[in-house]
Structure 1
Amino acid sequence: MTAQSDIEIVETSASSCCGGSSCGTGAKETATEGAVTTVYKVNGMTCGHCEGAISSEVSAIAGVTSVSAVAATGLVTVVSEATLDEEAVRAAVDEAGYELAGTA
């Protein structure tokens, strides 16, 4: 008898600036009712390490419940309990070493 499990396959780029040892978060969460989802365009992301750095900094903003950064598109999807102050997001992205271009 075999146990059935739910497996999600995520495709990622093979190249990385950090060799892949600590790249990406791979986190994916489901938005809750009443949550606000905002997609931002970020310049400078090239790999999983970049995604992880941005996700870490943006996740530290009060009210953020989920962050998904995708280097290939330059998009960062943020789910929060309420609308975020764009300057707070800009500061977090700056702290990670990247540039917030605005909402996508």
Structure 2
Amino acid sequence: MTAETETPQATTGSCCSPSGSCHDGAADQPGAVTTVYQVKGMTCGHCEGAVSEELSGISGVTSVKAVASTGLVTVDSQAPLDEDAVRAAVDEAGYELVGRA
């Protein structure tokens, strides 16, 4: 490829956001925390929704993404979460918190 036909590639940013991230940027804020948990018993989209809804109710949680096929739940929050509160929310949804992934 010659210099005349090279197209410079952007090193930052994306179509999603200026930071190059496809999420809302909550985890990019000072003090923000992203924690991944292993949850046992999720098998479908309904399960994902139930766990996400309960975890979203915890004070300081800014986003939740549950994936039934892996059992992983990614939680973005303004500060570290109390694991007992996370466990209680997952229990309320009808599933079992195994721990941090």
Do the structures match in fold with TM over 0.5?
Answer: yes
The whole-number CA distance in structure 2 between the counterparts of 1:44 and 1:29 is 28
Contiguous gaps of at least 5 residues in structure 1: 1-5, 8-27
Letter of the 1:58 counterpart: L
The whole-number CA distance in structure 1 between the counterparts of 2:76 and 2:66 is 12
- Which of 31, 41, 63 aligns to 2:38? It is 41
Pair 1:103 & 2:97 matched: no
The whole-number CA distance in structure 1 between the counterparts of 2:58 and 2:93 is 13
Quote how far apart the aligned CAs of 1:76 are: 0.3
The whole-number CA distance in structure 2 between the counterparts of 1:29 and 1:93 is 23
TM-score, reference length from structure 2: 0.74
Q: Alpha-carbon deviations, 1:44-88, whole Å to 9, x = none? A: 000000000000000000000000000000000000000000000
Letter of the 1:71 counterpart: A
The whole-number CA distance in structure 2 between the counterparts of 1:29 and 1:71 is 22
The whole-number CA distance in structure 2 between the counterparts of 1:29 and 1:87 is 26
- Which of 9, 18, 28 aligns to 1:32? It is 28
Contiguous gaps of at least 5 residues in structure 2: 1-14, 17-22
The whole-number CA distance in structure 1 between the counterparts of 2:75 and 2:41 is 18
Aligned length: 79
Q: CA RMSD in A?
A: 1.5
